[in-house]
Structure 1
Amino acid sequence: MRALALAAAMVAMSAFSATAHGPTRQKIVETVDIDKPVEKVWAVMGDYDALSKWHPVVASSVADKGNEVGSVRHLVLKAPGDPSFDEVLDKYDVAGHSYKYEIPKVDPKILPVNNYASTITVLDNGKGGSTVEWKGAFYRGYMLNDPPEELNDESSVKAVRGVYRAGLDNLKKMVESAP
């Protein structure tokens, strides 16, 4: 009888724990093909401090240590109230045309994510041009169960995908229109 009660309790607990989990890490990748060689694309976006030069929603981008690992990039967005947040450079690879950064903390009203990390890389596409790959991993803006709609997984993915698409599409336009 005691074994039966223990088994019933374990089943009940496992059912509870299955519904009581927190958020799942989201991963996305966005790419764009650019009809210019890697070096031309990297010259525009390879400087960690240059995000405001090619991303249409970034008003200013200032990195305190340039392309040095640990550099803090302070971003101010083109939006009412001049929202801002910081990103930290984790890896900078000139030869690999890539850098990785993270956002230690951001107001979820600005970007509904937590524990965000991202890598942007320029690759040779084998056709005389480039492919820029921007990938990120993050948790939704609300870390507990039952998030409000604006902070759930779908909203977080949509927001980050929108940031990536806006940047990549503008980068393509800028680089391809340059001589």
Structure 2
Amino acid sequence: MKITIARRAALAGLPLALVAFAASPAQAKAPVLHVTRSVVIKAPAAKVWSVVHNFGDLTWVPAVKGSKASKGNHPGSVRHLDLGGPVLTEQLLHYNPKHTNYTYEIQHTANNMKILPVRDYVSTISVHRLGADETKLVWSGHFRRLDLSAHPKKGEDNATAVKAISGIYESGLANAAKLATK
């Protein structure tokens, strides 16, 4: 199994910013992109965590029709997301129920790259208690566009990658907020 620099950093508990990238010339032209979205929910943090905590069940995201994981919430677990036809595979890197967060990566496969216009994708979902009945749910990720060349093809550029991930995060957070306030 190929272990990426991002995965090594996550497994070692190191912030990715502290890891020196040994980028190829193509990667040097394709910047690391970041998307962070959040929502404040009028519900206790435990309730919000109960909606999003299960790595094996991402069906709180509207685009996901079915979801299962090989080892539940244990690092190394691989989840398969049925998107109503294509199946996306992701791997859990870090799971911390005490701090109500987990980090995962999209596996680098040809099939996954056909589904989402990104590569080197690592994401974290975290729940932050703001008050007794107020919680902030945050979904953040970093990745590169699919086409690493200096002049990426249409649909494989920075804007397309950011738009795709932003849409997933926004719809997922909105639905998680609805589920947590039922």
Q: Normalised by the size of structure 1, how large is the TM-score?
A: 0.82
Aligned to 1:43, which of 46, 50, 56? 50
**How far apart are 1:127 and its partner, in Å?**
6.0
Q: Compare CA radii of gyration and give the structure with the larger one.
A: 1
**How far apart are 1:91 and its partner, in Å?**
0.3
**What one-letter code is carried by the residue in structure 2 that aligns with 1:123?**
H
Post-superposition CA distance 1:108-135 (Å, at most 9, x none): 3311000000000000123621100000
**What one-letter code is carried by the residue in structure 1 that aligns with 2:70?**
D
**What one-letter code is carried by the residue in structure 1 that aligns with 2:116?**
L
List runs of 5+ in structure 1 lacking aligned partners: 1-19
**What one-letter code is carried by the residue in structure 2 that aligns with 1:58?**
V
Are 1:157 and 2:158 counterparts? no
Structure 1 stretches of 4+ with a deviation exceeding 6 A read none
Give the % identical residues.
36
Return the structure number with greater helix share: 1
1:1-179 alignment to 2 at 5 Å? 21-52=28-59, 54-78=60-84, 82-106=85-109, 107-126=112-131, 128-176=133-181, 178=182
Counterpart contact for 2:42–2:134, Cα < 8 Å: yes
How big is the alpha-carbon RMSD for the aligned residues of Structure 1 and Structure 2?
A: 1.7
Q: Normalised by the size of structure 2, how large is the TM-score?
A: 0.81
Counterpart contact for 2:101–2:127, Cα < 8 Å: yes
Post-superposition CA distance 1:76-97 (Å, at most 9, x none): 103xxx0112100000000001
Distance change in 2, residues 1:21/1:102 (3 Å): closer
CA distance in 2, matches of 1:38, 1:170: 16
CA distance in 1, matches of 2:116, 2:134: 32
**How far apart are 1:165 and its partner, in Å?**
0.4
